[in-house]
Amino acid sequence: MIALGIEGTAHTLGIGIVSEEKVLANVFDTLTTEKGGIHPKEAAEHHAKLLKPLLKKALKEAKISIEDVDVIAFSQGPGLGPALRVVATAARALAIKYNKPIVGANHCIAHVEITKMFGVKDPVGLYVSGGNTQVLALEGGRYRVFGETLDIGIGNAIDTFARELGLGFPGGPKIEKLAQKGKKYIELPYAVKGMDLSFSGILTEAVRKYKTGKYKVEDLAYSFQETAFAALVEVTERAVAHTGKEEVVLVGGVAANNRLREMLKIMCEDRGVKFFVPPYDLCRDNGAMIAYTGLRMFKAGIKFDLEETVVKQKFR
């Protein structure tokens, strides 16, 4: 079976085509602005404009025609309302025109589910991106969020810090590079509440310290990463202890960070659990993960009628 997936919860439009075993195509376009941040209306316009060319590109890359697709999947949320509506409308149009079944997939779950294409069975997922920070896993036949950020996403926190330092957007890779040169740990607020996290305090204090001019930026970047990542590892470890699961996966754009990977790997080795990070194009927002999750849902007998995909939109 072949599924086509459309991702468009935020500033990336992604179209992916997958079979049960592999990714046949995974193409993207991300709307970026100098300052970072996303305007929902602009993201929606971006997705509407690029849907057709990206769809063509994906079909060409997969060497198939749209008639060969068995199920159409789309990112149903969470995300920006106007962007979600464009994607859902496009998926419905394709489903009607080509008479295909349609499935709405949860964006956060899709980030974790795609790891199953690589043999991962039943993981605890740490999903870290610009807007989202969650620890989630299947329990009792449903995905549960064990912990999440109570304010901003870790990627957003890093990007804002980088912007204050005048480093531009996206800040993640630049902060990572700076942090490698940092030597001295500077105390920053560490906030884990139960299994939830908070990053706004770290951000405010790091910016305040930077503005005093008394600290080296390398040391601040290093301390920012060490503090925020330690909190992410702690919450992930708690979820592993709570669920008794034997696999951890790291997904989302911030999964590119080598220090975060290293810290999680150490925790997993200590606990004797497996650790896996998918290739970057399947970590960031992408259509292949939506296609794959849609395919698994469809095969499990989950069916959506067209009405349902419209009604659900009203509540976002």
Residue whose CB is less far from ligand KG4, 92 or 174 = 174
Scanning the structure block, which residue is given the tokens 């080509």? 98
Q: Give the interface segment with ligand KG4, choosing from 13-21, 155-163, 180-188, 298-306 (CB under 6 A).
A: 155-163
Shortest Cβ 90–ligand KG4 spacing (Å) = 20
> Is there a binding annotation on residue 176?
yes
**Residue 218 CB neighbours (<10 A):** 16
Q: How far apart are CA 199 and CA 9, in angstroms?
A: 22
Encoded one letter per residue, x for contact with ligand KG4 by CB under 6 A and - for no contact, window 82-121 reads ----------------------------------------
Shortest Cβ 140–ligand KG4 spacing (Å) = 28
Residue whose CB is less far from ligand KG4, 104 or 172 = 172
Q: Give the interface segment with ligand KG4, choosing from 74-82, 86-94, 127-135, 187-195 (CB under 6 A).
A: 127-135
> Is there a binding annotation on residue 47?
no
Q: Give the interface segment with ligand KG4, choosing from 98-106, 123-131, 289-297, 308-316 (CB under 6 A).
A: 123-131
Asked if 205 touches ligand KG4 (CB under 6 A), the answer is: no
> Is there a binding annotation on residue 11?
no
Residue whose CB is less far from ligand KG4, 32 or 96 = 32
Asked if 278 touches ligand KG4 (CB under 6 A), the answer is: no
Asked if 79 touches ligand KG4 (CB under 6 A), the answer is: no
Residue whose CB is less far from ligand KG4, 159 or 196 = 159
Number of residues that bind ligand KG4 (CB under 6 A): 19
Q: Which position among 16, 79, 104, 131 is part of the footprint of ligand KG4 (CB under 6 A)? A: 131
Q: What is the longest distance spanned by two Cα atoms in the chain?
A: 64
Q: Which position among 227, 257, 293, 309 is part of the footprint of ligand KG4 (CB under 6 A)? A: 257
Residue whose CB is less far from ligand KG4, 172 or 278 = 172
Asked if 287 touches ligand KG4 (CB under 6 A), the answer is: no
DSSP labels, the chain: --EEEEE-SSSEEEEEEE-SS-EEEEEEEE---TT----HHHHHHHHHHHHHHHHHHHHHHHT--GGG-SEEEEEEESS-HHHHHHHHHHHHHHHHHHT--EEEEEHHHHHHHGGGGGT--S-EEEEE-SS-EEEEEEETTEEEEEEEBSSS-HHHHHHHHHHHTT--SS-HHHHHHHHHT--S-------EETTEE--HHHHHHHHHHHHHT-S-HHHHHHHHHHHHHHHHHHHHHHHHHHH--SEEEEESGGGG-HHHHHHHHHHHHHHT-EEE---HHHHSS-HHHHHHHHHHHHHTT--B-HHHHHHHHTT-
Asked if 172 touches ligand KG4 (CB under 6 A), the answer is: yes
First-to-last C-alpha distance (Å) of the chain: 31
Residues that bind ligand KG4 (CB under 6 A): 10, 129-131, 155, 158-159, 170-173, 176, 252-254, 256-257, 284-285
